[in-house]
A and B are shown apart, each in its own frame.
Chain A
Amino acid sequence: MSTATFRIWRGEKGAGKFQDYSTEVSSGMVVLDAVHRIQAEQANNLAVRWNCKAGKCGSCSAEINGMPKLMCMTRLNSLPLEQPVTIEPMKAFPHVRDLVTDVSWNYSVKKNIAKFTPRPPDAPDGTWRMAQKDADRVQEFRKCIECFLCQDVCHVLREHHMHEQFVGPRFLVYAAALEMNPLDQADRVPALRQQYGIGLCNITKCCTKVCPENITITDNAIIPLKERVVDRFFDPLTKLFRVFGAGSR
C-alpha cells in the first residue's frame, strides 16, 4: 500500500474548485476505485456517476490529468502518482455537480437522426441476407458504449460550443452505422452536410484517440461519410458516372 493524492473538482453548475484528497492505493486499482475510497472515507457527498466498473456502460467518463477517459478503465499504474492526479468532469457538457455532467443533449441529438429503415425482407420468412464482410464494417461502429468521451474531446463542441450545428463524432459514427448498412434504405447524406454539420469536423482524430472501444472513428466513419457528401455535392464527375448506372450502392 502507498499513498497517492487526487485533485478532484468539487462544485456545482460550473462553479467550484479543486480539492486534494490523499488516500491509500494498491496494485490493480483503477481511478474509480480511488474515487470510491475517497467517497467512502473522506467525502461522502462527492457526486460521481458510475455503473458497471467494466468499461461497458460508459457512465464514469471524466478528464483524468486533462485527457477524457473512463475512470474504471484507467489503471493507477499508468499514471504518474508522484504528482496529484487531477480528475475533472467533462467540459463539453453542462456541469451538474462534482464529476457529474448533464449529457442529455446527446440523447436529443440522437432522436434527430433518421432511424434504421430496412428494405423488404430477402426471404419469405421475413429475414435478410447480409455478407459477413458487410456486417463486419458496421459492427465496428456498434461497439460504441456512448461514453461521450469523443464528444468531450472534439474541439468543435468543447471549445467552440457549436452544439446546435454539429452532432459530434459519436453521432457521425451512429449515422455511419446506419448509412453503411446494406439493409438500410434511408438517405442521410443531405442531413450529414446540413443538420449534422459534418463539414465542421477538421479531422484532428482526437475522437479516435480517446475512444475506449478503439473504434477508428475518423478513418472508418467520418472520412467515408465526408466522401459520400463529396460524391453528392462536390464531384460532378462521380455524379455523371453514377447517372449511367455504375457505382450504385
Chain B
Amino acid sequence: MSQVDVPLVRAQFAQTSRRDNWWMQPLAVFLGLSTFIVYSTWAAMQGDHYRFGPYLSPFYSPELFGDPVQSWFGLKPAWIPAWVTAAMLILWAPGGFRVTCYYYRGAYYKAFWADPPSCAVGEPRKTYLGERSFPLILQNIHRYFLYLALLFLVLLAHDVWKALWFDGRFGIGVGTLVLLTNVVLLSCYTLGCHSLRHLTGGFRDRLSSGPVGSGAYDCVSCLNRRHMLCAWLSLFSVGFSDLYVRLCSMGIWRDWRIL
C-alpha cells in the first residue's frame, strides 16, 4: 500500500484540542462494564440463592448440575471441583457473546485499553496490532457465540414459561415479569447482532433474492440500528434479574403476586 512521504506528528497520551468532556463516555462505559463484571463474578461464585419458587436466575440457567430434581443432570459429579458453581459452567457462552460483540469491542477498546481513549485523543501506546493477530484475531469467532446465545434465548424463554406456574397453578408474579422483560431485552440485543445481520442476508449482494426474502434481514437491521441501546438495557436486565431472584430467595425482597 502507498506510504506518506513526510513524517507525521504523534500525539501524547490524552493530548487533544477537543473542548468537550470527551472522557465522560469512556468513563461511563468503564464504570458500567466494571460494575457488571464485578457483580456477575460475585454472583457466579456464590452457588446459592439462585432459585426462588418457579424463578431461576439467568446467571444459572440452564442449571446443568446442582438441584437433584430441577437441574438437567442431577447432582454435581465428584470430578467437578467444589468451587465450580452451576453458573461457571455456562456463563462463558453468553459472556463470550458479549466480549466478542462488535459494539462492546469498540466500547471496551476505548474504555479499558484507551485504544483510543476517545476520537481524536492521543493514545498511551505506540505499537498497535489491531484485530489481525493473536489474541484479538479470536474476535472472529463471534458468530459461533451467536449460535450459543440464540440457544440461550430459547432456554431463558422456557424459564419464563416455568415462572408462570406456582405449585402447578398458573400465576404471574413480579418475578415473572422481571424474567420476561429480561428475555425480551436479550432477544432485542441478540437478534440485532451484526453477525446475524450478515447471516440473514447481508452476505448477499442481492438482498432481494435471499432464501427467506429480505424480511429477516430488514428485521435484524432494524434491531441492529439500536444495538448499543439493547446491549446496555439487556446487560442491566440480566443483572437485575439475578439480583431480584437472589434477594427474594434471601428473604430481603418479597415477590408480589399479580395473578
Q: Is B66 an interface residue (CB 8 A)?
A: no
**Smallest Cβ-Cβ distance to A161: which chain B residue:** B8
Chain B 136-149, CB-CB to A under 8 Å as 1, else 0, gives 11001111000000
Q: Please give the distance in Å from B220's CB to the nearest CB on chain A.
A: 12
Complex: how many Å from CA A153 to CA B6? 18
Contact B2 A108 (CB under 8 A): yes
With a 10 A CB-CB cut-off, give which of A63, A161, A166, A224 has the most chain B CB atoms.
Answer: A161
Asked if B224 and A219 make an inter-chain contact with CB atoms under 8 angstroms apart, the answer reads yes
Within 8 Å by CB of B9, from A91, A196, A203, A231, lies A91
Q: What's the Cα separation between A63 and B214 when bound, in Å?
A: 41
Interface residues of A in 28-71 (CB under 8 A from B): 63, 65-68
From A19-27, A120-128, A140-148, A204-212, give the one contacting chain B: A204-212
By the criterion CB–CB under 8 Å, are B3 and A66 in contact?
Answer: no
Known: A65-B19, A86-B17, A204-B106. A134 touches B203 (CB 8 A): no
User: Judging by beta carbons under 8 Å apart, are B140 and A234 in contact?
Assistant: yes
- How far in angstroms is the closest Cβ of chain B from A160? 4
Tell me, yes or no, whether B242 is within 8 Å of chain A by CB: no
Decide if B119 is an interface residue (CB 8 Å cutoff).
yes
Q: Which of B2, B19, B206, B214 contacts A83 (CB 8 A)?
A: B19
**Contact among B6, B17, B131 with A65 in the assembled complex (CB-CB below 8 Å):** B17
Query: Across the interface, which residues of A come within 8 angstroms of B115, CB to CB?
Result: 155, 202
Chain B residues closer than 8 Å to A134, beta-carbon distance: 205-208
From A80, A200, A210, A247, give the contact of B128 (CB < 8 A).
Answer: A200
A223 to B140, CA, bound (A): 11
Assess whether B167 is interfacial by the CB under 8 Å rule.
no
Q: Does A195 contact B (CB under 8 A)?
A: yes
Interface residues of B in 108-151 (CB under 8 A from A): 109-110, 115-116, 119-120, 122-123, 126-128, 130-133, 136-137, 140-143
Q: Say if the beta carbon of A99 comes within 8 Å of chain B.
A: no
* A67-B119 contact in complex given A92-B8, A199-B131, A227-B198, C-beta closer than 8 Å: yes
Interface SS of chain B: loop
A146 to B136, CA, bound (A): 30
* Contact status B143-A153, CB under 8 Å: no
- Interchain CB contact under 8 A, B2 and A112: yes
A105 at the interface (CB under 8 A from B): yes
| A249 lies within 8 A of B194 (CB) | no
- Tell yes or no: B105 within 8 A of A by CB: yes
Q: List B contacts of A246 (CB < 8 A).
A: 211
Q: Does any Cβ of B come within 8 Å of A165's Cβ?
A: yes
Beyond A203-B102, A223-B102, A223-B194, whether A163 also contacts B131 by CB under 8 A is: no
Q: Is the CB of A14 within 8 A of B9?
A: yes
With CB as the reference atom, state the residue of chain A lying closest to B202.
A224
Indicate whether A184 reaches chain B with its CB closer than 8 angstroms.
Answer: yes
| Interface hits, B1-30 → A, CB 8 Å | 1-11, 16-20
Across the two chains, which residue of chain A brings its CB closest to B133? A199
Report if A4 contacts B (CB, 8 A).
no
Query: Which chain A residues (221-239) contact chain B, with CB distance < 8 Å?
Result: 223-224, 227-231, 233-235, 238
Residues of B with C-beta under 8 A to A175: none
Q: Is the CB of A161 within 8 A of B2?
A: no
Contact B120 A68 (CB under 8 A): yes
Q: Is B204 part of the binding interface, using a Cβ–Cβ cutoff of 8 Å?
A: yes
Chain A, Cβ-Cβ closest to B228: A205
Q: How distant is the Cα of A167 from the Cα of B2 in the complex, in angstroms?
A: 9
Q: How far is the CB of A188 from chain B (nearest CB, A)?
A: 12
Q: How far is the CB of A94 from chain B (nearest CB, A)?
A: 3
B10, B143, B205: the one contacting A159 at CB < 8 Å is B10
- Beyond A83-B19, A200-B128, A230-B143, whether A206 also contacts B119 by CB under 8 A is yes
Shortest CB distance B193–A (Å): 10
Interface string of B86-120 (1 = CB under 8 A from A): 00000000000000001001100110000110011
A197, B6: Cβ atoms closer than 8 Å: no
Q: In the complex, which residues of chain A have a beta carbon less than 8 angstroms from the beta carbon of B143?
A: 227, 230, 235, 238
| B92 CB, nearest partner CB in chain A, Å | 20
Tell me, in angstroms, the Cα distance from A26 to B131 when the chains sit together: 48
A56 to chain B, nearest CB (A): 24
Besides A161-B10, A230-B140, A249-B204, 9 other CB < 8 A contacts?
A66-B120, A92-B8, A93-B8, A102-B4, A153-B119, A202-B109, A224-B198, A228-B203, A230-B142
Can you list 6 A-B pairs with a CB-CB distance of less than 8 A? Answer: A65-B17, A93-B4, A162-B128, A230-B143, A231-B198, A249-B203
- The 10 tightest CB contacts between A and B, nearest first, are A199-B132, A66-B17, A66-B18, A94-B6, A200-B130, A206-B119, A227-B198, A131-B208, A108-B2, A203-B106
